[in-house]
Structure 1
Amino acid sequence: MSRQRTLTLIAATVVVLGAGGAALAARSGDDRSAAAPRAATSSAPPQRVVLPGRPGDPAVVTDTDQVRAPDGDTYNSIDTAFVQMMIVHHGQAIEMAELAAGRAGDPRLKALADRIRAAQAPEVTWLRAWLRDRKLPASDPAHDHRTMPGMQSEADMAALTGLTGAAFDHRFVTMMSAHHRGAIQMAGDVLGGGSDQRLRELANEMAVEQGSEIRRMEQLRLP
């Protein structure tokens, strides 16, 4: 798939879901309202970013147009919030996918869950490396991960763990579809306000793939 077509697909997906940047903006100091959706190609004004200093040196606060990674890419606080949150978000999807191996009744669902796990685990590795290369913390205590779009509650996860067969399959499809829609919304946030080009490309690919997986789950037509 060409990069232009990918951008077109994700832009359409974000519009359909009404993603306006609220999920990451609220965690990165952006006060723009979710009631005014950003287009996926809009540019963001400079964000204030805290750069950790070397041992013994104070942190430095600077603008996004001055923040560069060792590889020369520019990034901002929306990028950072997306990466920190998506690591946790993916972690829950992987947890659900691993449950399917011993609990799902439909072999097609087991295969799809394996695909989800196989796709998202390497992305988590990449996201962790992104933070490490920029000497950024793996998480932000200010993030309440329970409020991320699509995150399932502890009670829902416990209920899913207790199910098997057809009951598991139906609950899994409901929960994973909602989880994927949340990830697509978060991808739209970073597309609208982030500045790291490679991260934007990953968000594009992630959203297109998860949109495809939602459609596959719908097409299973479980009994």
Structure 2
Amino acid sequence: MQHRRAWALTAATLALVGAVGVAVLARASGRTEPTAAAPDPSSSAVRVLVPGRPGESATVTDADAVRPPEQAPYNKADVTYAQMMIVHHVQAIEMADLAPERAANDGVRNIAARISAAQGPEISVLRSWLAGRGQPESDPGHDHSTMPGMQPADKMAALKAATGADFDRMFVAMMTEHHFGAQAMVGTVLKEGSEQILAEMANETAVEQVSEIRRMRDLGVS
């Protein structure tokens, strides 16, 4: 009830601001605008202004009658994205956790720490999102090695064996490719998914990883 009332009052505020602007313009041009009827003092209901659709006037109604916009339900694309991104993030963290002992460049170590700090909590959120909808954390029928940006076993083994400048170059190249893969996955869920909550999460992931790609390029270790 508090959520609906808060939404209704927000809508009323926006409508009222718009009405004030119209009234000011009307006075400047010598015209008068109709005003809303005064509220009935005997009524205990909270009356609010609800903005109309484009070209329509605002209406006055009880706050309890106002409904927030309905969220579209999640679909298969949303579930697949969450399942795949968990695995994708796990590999990124595996790569990042190698940096403290193997990297020679302080910038590489800093970016690796940033990746671990960001993607660990994101994994927890995605797991909670799936659990809250009664969905499994993974799809046994999906081949995760085919996901965009996923690094094959031989390259992961080579990264784990590398140290110093060699590690830095391999890490930047592999993590950049990994991040670009995540961008592709975000693009797919934004196009095919239906739940706004997950779309917002995906957008945040994309923004963060674009920033990290730029930072890795600026290191000049490739």
TM-score, normalised on structure 2?
A: 0.67
Q: 2:170: which partner in 1?
A: 171
SS of the residue corresponding to residue 86 of structure 2 reads helix
Q: 2:112: which partner in 1?
A: 113
In 1, are the aligned partners of 2:172 and 2:221 still within 8 Å (CA)? no
1:1-223 paired onto structure 2 within 5 Å: 74-222=73-221
2:139 alignment partner AA: D
Cα separation, 1, equivalents of 2:75 and 2:127? 16
Identity %: 57
1:151 alignment partner AA: M
Residues 5-56 of structure 1: CA deviation (Å, up to 9, x unaligned) = xxxxxxxxxxxxxxxxxxxxxxxxxxxxxxxxxxxxxxxxxxxxxxxxxxxx
Instruction: Give the total of aligned pairs.
Output: 153
1:222 shift after superposition: 2.1
In 1, are the aligned partners of 2:93 and 2:119 still within 8 Å (CA)? yes
Residues 109-141 of structure 1: CA deviation (Å, up to 9, x unaligned) = 101100011000000000000111111111111
Q: Max radius of gyration: which structure? A: 2
RMSD: 1.4
Instruction: Give the unaligned 5+ runs of structure 2.
Output: 1-70
Q: 2:39: which partner in 1?
A: none
Cα separation, 2, equivalents of 1:109 and 1:138? 31
Cα separation, 2, equivalents of 1:183 and 1:142? 20
Cα separation, 1, equivalents of 2:148 and 2:201? 18
1:73 shift after superposition: 5.8
Q: Which has the higher contact order (CA 8 A, sep 6+)?
A: 1
2:109 alignment partner AA: K
Cα separation, 1, equivalents of 2:199 and 2:143? 23
Cα separation, 1, equivalents of 2:107 and 2:88? 24
2:159 alignment partner AA: L
Instruction: Give the unaligned 5+ runs of structure 1.
Output: 1-71
